[in-house]
Amino acid sequence: MAQKSLARQVVVVTGASSGIGLATARMAAARGARVVLVARSTEALDRIAAGIVREGGEAIAVAADVGYRAEVEEVAARTLVAFGGFDTWVNNAGLTIYGRLEDVDQEDHERLLRTNFWGTVNGSLVAVAHLRKHGGTLINVGSVASDLAFPLQGMYSASKHAVKGFTDALRMELRHDDAPVAVTLVKPTSIDTPLPRRARNYMDREPMLPPPVYRPEEVAEAILFAAEHPRRDIVVGGAGKLFTAGKEFAPGAYDHLAGSIVAMQKRPGSPRRPEGALHAPQADDTGHVRGDQPGYVMRRSAYTRASLHPVAATSAAIGLGFAAATLLRPRRGHRS
């Protein structure tokens, strides 16, 4: 399905106050899209929108808790008034909890599912009601945890599994109706965002992401690519694809990695703010694209870039093969 160029689109981004959402919104605006910023913090969104406008872009801020359908419908209504509609809707809002499943309060479990799962459901259904009439793209941000489970982030993994199941079913129903709506599920690996700092933390240590870790801009690139060139699924980070393939091949062996995965999610130091931003936004977490992940953060994912541009990747591989053959070919006058 061919879509408009990004410079002619209106793009709605939830979870736009930090991390992947903020990187996506800023990048979309820089490429000419009109952007609708959605998150819970009015002050943070107003500040971000003002920054985009100063840079010559167009953006409006709509504060909303995506876990509540009425607030998401208000986002769509405000977008219709401001821009006449939208072409791409990105469901990115999400939070996590670090802790053993049996130790986490029921209220915290339910709040996470309200944001991660019901926020995606609400955003998708509200967006599709509009996109059915005019066409466009729905992009849901899942995770490598849509295919894998992580101890200490059990409910997060469950929510991302649910997002994948919902997204796949919605895509099938839209295709059955021949609706002009493309649906993409983006599945990032560990990304250096403020997510661990914003997490509800039940551990006695400060949380971190299991390596390897990639930049948020790599996910934003994948999201904006899908806005113009729809794909069914996009995995960001070759490591995520490798782990998923390994788990499918030997699920029992993956289960035995539990101890290592637990260790990789803890960093030295006591918890800085155990309550996190699960139930309410925290001012010092907004406005930041990057987190403070210790260790090396990978700038690019060669696997993801190749999956988005398979023809170019194949041509490059052929070219490298030809160059290698030329270099290895015996020269005239020399014995092989």
Cβ atoms of 311 and 317 closer than 8 Å: no
- Provide the β-strand partners of residue 34: 10, 58
> In Å, what is the CA distance from 141 to each residue of 34, 185, 246, 320?
20, 6, 22, 34
| Cα R_g (the chain), whole angstroms | 21
d(CA 326, CA 329): 5
- 73 closest CA partner among 60, 57, 89, 59: 89
Catalytic residue among 68, 98, 156, 296: 156
Residue 268 identity (one-letter amino acid): P
Cβ pair 52, 77 in contact under 8 A:
no
Q: Using CA atoms, how far apart are residues 257 and 3, in angstroms rounded to an integer? A: 42
For residue 156, indicate whether it is catalytic: yes
Judge whether 38 and 62 are in contact, CB under 8 Å. Answer: yes
Token pair listed for 154: 């059990």
Question: Which residues are marked as active site?
Answer: 156
